[in-house]
A and B are shown apart, each in its own frame.
Chain A
């Protein structure tokens, strides 16, 4: 038995990355970032507003939150929808208690189905970040470029019209991309994407249409990961948010800021027995001086201002 010759060949074994999407860069060696007003930590809260169709195909894989049982899976369909009807309003209240704002990552189908929810977000000064069409339209390597371009255009058109916002940010459903996604997003006027989890700070990415920026949207500091996937308790969730904040706060200064991003799913954290965990973590964070509650566009704008030309 032996392996093909190419298995021991390494054509991309060279300095830097094994692709050209972004450059190799180490956090401690970056140019410093000033948020302004003596702020140290930019707090970026990103609730996802999702629609999981009852007849989901789950191609090429099932995203977190997908239907589980044989058709019709009413229990999972309605539990996900709970987030959009009830849970999100508990998140809104928790944020308002501390004067915090959010950036809602919204499936375009949610905007079509629930215009009142779009209004509730926009009225609160939240930014709308595009989260694709719905949770059953994943972007993936098996898609043609035209097919994906149409999906992106449709999603952005709907969300831009519904929100009246420019919609500069994009989160791919389940953070799944094709080889072309960043190119097509930039082409469609998107300034930042939230799919890559390799950094704590924004950074510049190369596309065929110019620079796009990657924002540090987490899979770890995420209610679905900690509470649903890892089965941790509500108090554990709270403690992990606090521990995350404390380390970032300690690392930061008014001359060199950090981003703390929190990914939320209203069908998870919006449950009555869980919401207090978020409230307690936010109370801890809000108690510190130099915390700047900002949208993705605001954080990116401030970050870009300080970058060398």
Chain B
């Protein structure tokens, strides 16, 4: 096992090439709904059980199923009312299970990127051929059902091997959402390819906010606005990125909807915000800043 994942060099926040977003925007803002399928009784990964209760864990299974049956549709309406496209973090088996959800996203010109096959199939423990097969499955399934080229990756349930970043870069993806070290995009060092880390944020993620930190919906609205205000201010100097990762089973609950809509409306009503998708941010960064950021970064010292 490594002591440092060795994905990036050190690049201090106050000494970087200046990022300019299209049309003078200060913040590249994107929303990443995790459109997921959790299996009721998946095969067990030796490192992690899919469910906390003994099988069948119908409470946790059905809680997540709410997202597809009910929550997604409410979330979609909020996004449409705010003129916001989603960048879908997709368990690609959703294309087979619930194509209606995929069609609704496509109709609204949302991006699809991969969040693995199912949220109950984890990468750890896989050999290289197995992991390649999972990534290829995502590339093929998204192409087949949406016509889109797969550009982005967020590992299923945030599970990895040491090879994950190298493989997704080699297989032609352009960005990952798995690293939380920055408020701006940055180059990810991989064996082949050109891969950017696009800020995704666990702090803004409704799973962390609701399932881990257990905050109230109105407090979540406040958290989102505070995050935005600061990044909007700093974005005057150099462009920042703000992401709100969502889960329809959480944000689509009636009691959480209004506070979220108000916060989203607050952000989208600002002038200097680029309402973008993950792919668009990665493309802009990789074209204009990837090399400059890589060049400006300092090699990391070897800790004793």
Chain A interface residue count, CB cutoff 8 Å, equals 56
A17→B73 contact, CB < 8 A: no
Interface residues on B, range: 35 or more
- Asked if B214 is at the interface of the complex by the 8 Å CB criterion, the answer is yes
A197→B66 contact, CB < 8 A: yes
Instruction: Knowing A24-B98, A140-B54, A178-B56 are in contact, say whether A221-B70 is a contact too (CB < 8 A).
Output: no
B97→A18 contact, CB < 8 A: yes
- Asked if A230 is at the interface of the complex by the 8 Å CB criterion, the answer is yes
B100→A175 contact, CB < 8 A: no
Q: Which of A206-231 contact B (CB under 8 A)?
A: 219-221, 229-231
B70→A200 contact, CB < 8 A: yes
Cβ contacts under 8 Å, B97 to chain A? 13-18, 24
- Asked if B69 is at the interface of the complex by the 8 Å CB criterion, the answer is yes
Q: State A217–B121 Cα separation when bound (angstroms).
A: 29
- Asked if B1 is at the interface of the complex by the 8 Å CB criterion, the answer is no
User: Chain B nearest CB: distance from A255 CB in Å?
Assistant: 18
Cβ contacts under 8 Å, B121 to chain A? 7-8
Residue among A7, A219, A232 with max Cβ neighbours from chain B (10 Å): A7
Q: State A39–B268 Cα separation when bound (angstroms).
A: 36
Stretch at the interface among B126-134, B196-204, B296-304: B126-134
Instruction: Knowing A24-B97, A25-B69, A197-B63 are in contact, say whether A247-B258 is a contact too (CB < 8 A).
Output: yes
Query: What secondary structure prevails in chain A residues at the interface with B?
Result: loop
Q: State A203–B259 Cα separation when bound (angstroms).
A: 28
Stretch at the interface among A81-89, A105-113, A235-243: A235-243
Q: State A246–B96 Cα separation when bound (angstroms).
A: 35
Q: State A81–B98 Cα separation when bound (angstroms).
A: 45
B66→A176 contact, CB < 8 A: no
- Asked if B254 is at the interface of the complex by the 8 Å CB criterion, the answer is yes
- Asked if A61 is at the interface of the complex by the 8 Å CB criterion, the answer is yes
Jot down 9 A-B pairs with beta carbons below 8 A, ordered by A.
A7-B45, A7-B126, A14-B97, A18-B40, A29-B100, A197-B63, A200-B254, A230-B214, A246-B258
Q: Beyond A2-B126, A3-B125, A10-B93: 15 further Cβ-contacts under 8 Å? A: A1-B125, A3-B45, A3-B127, A10-B117, A24-B97, A26-B68, A175-B58, A176-B53, A197-B66, A198-B63, A198-B70, A230-B214, A236-B218, A240-B216, A251-B254
